[in-house]
Structures are given as structure tokens and as C-alpha cells.
């Protein structure tokens, strides 16, 4: 596909405009959350095969040391988030409810918790395949919430060719501002990570798409690009930042590509079919830090906010920190009515405050009893065929028809004739439904049933 010599910069069709609710955290610098006395590292916290533990109970570990290694290409290793001793390898509760095997590390009270594991490397001297291996070694997954192994995301199929790296800096989910703050405060790390990803994928240019309600992020990234400018950089070989209209779900890779270029990704295909690879700003900024130092992923930035939080902000949190300790430090009472891991549109309620922060947790939103009363008291009514869900669906699906099929358990028909697989569960349909029908929840159940049928 020929490279465009302009950006479209127009909003994608449909979508919604929920209240942003970002004011409490967007202007505050990232702060470090104190290291907990104990961390719980679930072995299964990303898409793909679960890695195997390589430590034993009673073993001393230092921060950054590998504690679980992957046995499969679609898997990543885990590293010790703190210096301490392995206290247990046992089943612990997860955010979704089921108990999963986890490594429990009790941190040493007197440890400085510096990163003590890693060896500096000259990433600029590496070939693309070597960079992909280095990314794999970091244990990096998509920090935007999907938690897909980054080395796999950046691996281009042999029959394909990538010309553009699209960097997703939209962060359209209400309440969340962790990507925003990373773009403002770690712009140089971000541009460095972009250069590494370009070399790994073979992309000749990179475009950072940022929603136009984050002008400070655009300024910071543009300044970092200028500092990193190299001889020969032009339209087809440089790094650019472009503002796109603010709309939900602009953070979806398909919507961002539509907004930037006007290209629609064909049903059932990925951006690589158009010669593009999409990655999140938080992921690339972390790679810009970790790869030169030869370190693994041991922490991430998490937005902790909501009406039930006294000290909202974006915090740098050690992976495995129990949710209860995060909330206690941020001033959220243990009696909070609902705690959402992620944002209110696509996140999920935490099953327990004992669950830990994992690689895919971008935000923690706390709601009080009063905030949830209006939602819980809403009645669900039959579909009135108003078409609001059809008008809002960014993928052009018919959520009303899908919902009625789900109620009749016609799951196969939903997948074959009504393209359920194209739904990425953004929640726009549920948000606008005047009958309060939990459409996206029905679709998640239908997808799970279809996956189980396909695996059987």
C-alpha cells in the first residue's frame, strides 16, 4: 500500500462521548506507591500460555530476577517485583474470580528495592530479530489493557510487510490518565521505544495518534521527536505526532487507523493486512526504559481514581501489589461499593480486594454506595427497536439483533450471520440503550460459549 502524504485526522463514524472524568488526575505528576510487604505474582496474567516458575519456596530473589519462564512463543516470562524471599507458590484469587497459581514473595524490610538484575545492552547495534528476543526477555505485554505479548504483536508474518508503526496515545476510556501522564513525563523514553519497535517490525515511519484533549502530551512528544531527529528523516522515514478528534472508543486500533488514514481494516483481519502495526504508548515508553538496561518488567503506571478515592492520581506500582494496599494508600475505604479494574466502559469489577495489580491493569476506579445506587436500581425493559445501539456501534454491527439472538441462545447465528467476532466489547451499545439491556455482557457470554464449542 502506498504511504499517504497526509493525515486524515477526522473522527471515525459512530461512537459515543461519555463524560471524561479525568480532571482529578490528568494534571498531577506520577507518584510512586510504596513497595508492599508482600507481592503476589499470578503466573497467568496475559493472553497465551502460562509460564512455569523457576524459583522454589524459601529462595532469595532480587528485584528484576526472572521467577517464571515461558515455554511457548505466545507467552512471556515474569520477574521479581521486589527483593525478598519466595514465601509460597500456590493458588491465589484473580480479578476474574478463579484461583490461579501464583508466586508469593515477602519483601525484605531493609531492601532499597533497586533493580539489581539486568545487563546494559546496545539496542541500536541489534538486528530486528535480536530486538524481538530482547523484548520477549523483558516479559512485556500490551500495557493498554489487552495484555497481549508484545514480542508477538511486533512479529510481522513472513508474507507481510510493514511500513507504518501506529502508536496509540488516545486513552479514550473515562477516568484513566496513566498513558497521558506517561506521554507528558516520559516522552523521550517513548520516542526511544518507538525507534526500537520500528527496527523490530521493519516499519519506515511511526505516527503517534493523540486525542486533541491532551495538548500537553502532543507538545511533549513533539519536543522529544525534535531531540531525536536523525539525518534523512522525512515523511516516509520519520516519527510524527498527530492529533485526532476526541471520541470513544478512539483507543481501539481499528478506530485509530480509520481516524488517521480513512482505511477500514477488513473483517477478520489485523492492521498488518494494511502494512501497519499498532502499539500502546505505555508499552513503548516502558521498552524505551527497559531494553537499554536489559531489565524485565516489574512495575507499571496505574490510574487510581473515582468518587471513592481521597488521593486520586497516577501511581507507579510494583506488579503483584495487593489491591487493598493500593486503595489504602490512595485513601479509598475498604467499604467501597465497587472497585473496577480498568475503566468503567471496558473494565471489570474486582472479585476481591486480595487480588494483585497485574501487567494488564491500567486503572483502578472506586465507586461509593451512592454512586452505584442509581445504576443498581435501574430496571431492564424489552428492546424498543429505537436503533440507538446501531447508531453508536463503531463497527457498524446490529447490537439489538445480537442481543435478541443472545436471549434465545442462538450463539452460532450470532457468530456466522451477525459478525459477533467483530465486536471488541467497547460497551457503546450498553451505554446508550434506553432499555438498560446489558448488551455487551451478553456478547461476552456468547463469545465464551463459542470459544468453548470451537475448542471441544
Helix (H) or strand (E) holding 279: strand 276-280
Residues 402 and 289 in one domain: no
Residues 136 and 266 in one domain: yes
Helix (H, G, I), strand (E, B) or coil at 445: helix
Cβ atoms within 10 Å of 242's Cβ, excluding its own = 17
Please check whether residue 324 lies inside any domain of the structure: no
Q: How many domains does the chain have?
A: 2
- Strand segments, DSSP code E, in 298-415 are 299-305, 313-318, 338-341, 348-349, 363-367
pTM of the shown model: 0.93
Q: The domain containing residue 153 runs over which residues?
A: 23-27+124-293
Q: What is the pLDDT along the chain (456 residues), one digit of tens a residue?
A: 344 445 565 678 899 999 999 999 999 999 999 999 999 999 999 888 999 999 999 999 999 999 999 989 999 999 999 999 999 999 998 887 789 999 999 999 888 898 889 889 999 899 999 999 999 999 999 998 888 999 999 999 988 999 999 999 999 999 999 999 999 999 999 999 999 999 999 999 999 999 999 999 999 999 999 999 887 777 677 899 999 999 999 999 999 999 898 888 888 888 999 999 999 999 999 999 999 999 999 999 999 999 999 999 999 999 999 999 999 999 988 777 789 999 999 998 888 889 999 999 999 999 987 777 767 678 899 999 999 999 999 999 999 999 999 999 999 999 989 999 999 999 999 999 999 999 999 999 999 999 999 887
Please check whether residue 316 lies inside any domain of the structure: no
Residue after which a domain boundary falls, among 293, 315, 341: 293
Please check whether residue 322 lies inside any domain of the structure: no
Residues 392 and 288 in one domain: no
Residues 143 and 272 in one domain: yes
pLDDT at 456: 78
pLDDT at 262: 86
Strands ordered across the beta sheet of 52-53: 52-53, 66-69, 78-79
pLDDT at 9: 59
Note the helical H segments in 76-214: 128-138, 150-153, 178-185, 187-201
Please check whether residue 318 lies inside any domain of the structure: no
pLDDT at 359: 95
Alpha-carbon span 437 to 379, nearest angstrom: 9
Q: Which residue(s) pair with 31 in the sheet?
A: 315
Q: Do 363 and 343 contact (CB within 8 A), yes or no?
A: yes
Please check whether residue 346 lies inside any domain of the structure: no
Please check whether residue 136 lies inside any domain of the structure: yes
Please check whether residue 436 lies inside any domain of the structure: yes
pLDDT at 115: 87
Please check whether residue 234 lies inside any domain of the structure: yes
Q: Which residue(s) pair with 240 in the sheet?
A: 207
Residues 143 and 287 in one domain: yes
Residue after which a domain boundary falls, among 239, 271, 293: 293
Bridge pairing between strands 99-107 and 164-169 = unpaired
Residue after which a domain boundary falls, among 252, 268, 293: 293
Residues 403 and 255 in one domain: no
Rounded to an integer, what is the distance from CA 436 to the centroid of its chain?
Answer: 27
Q: What are residue 440's phi and psi, to 5 degrees? A: -65, -30
pLDDT at 369: 79
Q: What is the CATH number of the domain that holds 216?
A: 3.40.50.11540
Bridge pairing between strands 363-367 and 338-341 = antiparallel
Amino acid at each position: 500500500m502506498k504511504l499517504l502524504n497526509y493525515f486524515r485526522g477526522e473522527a471515525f463514524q459512530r461512537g459515543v462521548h461519555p463524560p471524561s472524568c479525568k480532571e482529578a488526575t490528568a494534571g498531577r505528576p506520577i507518584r510512586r506507591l510504596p513497595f508492599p510487604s508482600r507481592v503476589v505474582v499470578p503466573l497467568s496474567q496475559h493472553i497465551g500460555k502460562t509460564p512455569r516458575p523457576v524459583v522454589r519456596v524459601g529462595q532469595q530473589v532480587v528485584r528484576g530476577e526472572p521467577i517464571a519462564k515461558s515455554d511457548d512463543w505466545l507467552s512471556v516470562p515474569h520477574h521479581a517485583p521486589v527483593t525478598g524471599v519466595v514465601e509460597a507458590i500456590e493458588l491465589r484469587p484473580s480479578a476474574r474470580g478463579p484461583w490461579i497459581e501464583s508466586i508469593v514473595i515477602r519483601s525484605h524490610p531493609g531492601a532499597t528495592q533497586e533493580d539489581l538484575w539486568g545487563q546494559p545492552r546496545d539496542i541500536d547495534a541489534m538486528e530486528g530479530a535480536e530486538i524481538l528476543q530482547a523484548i520477549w526477555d523483558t516479559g512485556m505485554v500490551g500495557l493498554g489493557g489487552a495484555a497481549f505479548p508484545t514480542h508477538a504483536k511486533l512479529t510481522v508474518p513472513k508474507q507481510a510487510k510493514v511500513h507504518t508503526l501506529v502508536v496509540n496515545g488516545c486513552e479514550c476510556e473515562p477516568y484513566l490518565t496513566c498513558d497521558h501522564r506517561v506521554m507528558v513525563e516520559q516522552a523521550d523514553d517513548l520516542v526511544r521505544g518507538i525507534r526500537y519497535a520500528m527496527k523490530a517490525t521493519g516499519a519506515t515511519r511511526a505516527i503517534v495518534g493523540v486525542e486533541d484533549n491532551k495538548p500537553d502530551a502532543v507538545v511533549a512528544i513533539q519536543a522529544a521527536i525534535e531531540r531525536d531527529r536523525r539525518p534523512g528523516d522525512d515523511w516516509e522515514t520519520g516519527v510524527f505526532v498527530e492529533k485526532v478528534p476526541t471520541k470513544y472508543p478512539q483507543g481501539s486500533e481499528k478506530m485509530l487507523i480509520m481516524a488517521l488514514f480513512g482505511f477500514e481494516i477488513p473483517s477478520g483481519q489485523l492492521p498488518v493486512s494494511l502494512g501497519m502495526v499498532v502499539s500502546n504508548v505505555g508499552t513503548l515508553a516502558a521498552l524505551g526504559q527497559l531494553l537499554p538496561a536489559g531489565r524485565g518488567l516489574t512495575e507499571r503506571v496505574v490510574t487510581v481514581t473515582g468518587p471513592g478515592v481521597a488521593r486520586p492520581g497516577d501511581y507507579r506500582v510494583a506488579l503483584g501489589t495487593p489491591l487493598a494496599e493500593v486503595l489504602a494508600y490512595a485513601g479509598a475505604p475498604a467499604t467501597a461499593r465497587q472497585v473496577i479494574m480498568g475503566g468503567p466502559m471496558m473494565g471489570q469489577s474486582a472479585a476481591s480486594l486480595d487480588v494483585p495489580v497485574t501487567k494488564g491493569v491500567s486503572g483502578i476506579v472506586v465507586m461509593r454506595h451512592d454512586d452505584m445506587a442509581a445504576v443498581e436500581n435501574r430496571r431492564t425493559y424489552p428492546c424498543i427497536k429505537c436503533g440507538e445501539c446501531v447508531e453508536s456501534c463503531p463497527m457498524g454491527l446490529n447490537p439489538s439483533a445480537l442481543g435478541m439472538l443472545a436471549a434465545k441462545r442462538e450463539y452460532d447465528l450470532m457468530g456466522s450471520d451477525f459478525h459477533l467476532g467483530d465486536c471488541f466489547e467497547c460497551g457503546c451499545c450498553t451505554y446508550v440503550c434506553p432499555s438498560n439491556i446489558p448488551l455487551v455482557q451478553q456478547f461476552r457470554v456468547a463469545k465464551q460459549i463459542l470459544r468453548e464449542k470451537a475448542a471441544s
